[in-house]
Amino acid sequence: MSLEDLVRLRQARDRIDREYAEPLDIPALARTALMSPGHFQRSFRAAFGETPYGYLMTRRIERAKALLRQGDMTVTEVCHAVGCTSLGSFSARFTELVGETPSAYRAREHQDGAGVPACVARAHTRPRRG
């Protein structure tokens, strides 16, 4: 993979980071990287170790965890706030990545990390695949 390809893939990944709550699809992200959709998916996985969709969902779940810890939004509101349209799919992916349902996560106490800097909390609470 060329350095130029890596730069364009990072631009697409940065777009996911910025626009995670927007409706993003593979063709749009591939255009950001100036690649065909198939080549983009293969290259993204090779460069970052997960598919673009997997990365997008990880960002969404990461943000959802922060919103749920605040406790002032319902699970449905959080689902829509992070760009998911299906509550069932959101809940299933959240449970898969976090290990508990969004409702259970929201209901439990989160004060133990109150004094932790945000950058450390993000690294510690980032959803991880199996």
Taking only the tens place, the pLDDT of each residue in 71-89 is 899 999 999 999 999 999 9
Which residue ranges in the chain fall short of pLDDT 50? none
Query: Residue 35: its pLDDT value, please?
Result: 96
- Per-residue confidence (pLDDT) for residue 83, from 0 to 100: 95
Cα–Cα distance between 7 and 15 in angstroms, integer? 12
Measured CA distances, 19 to 22, 50, 79, 105, 115 (Å): 5, 18, 15, 24, 28
What pLDDT was estimated at residue 124? 57
Query: Number of H helices and number of E strands within the chain?
Result: 8, 0
- pLDDT score of 127: 63
Name the 3-class secondary structure at 109: coil
The model's pTM = 0.80
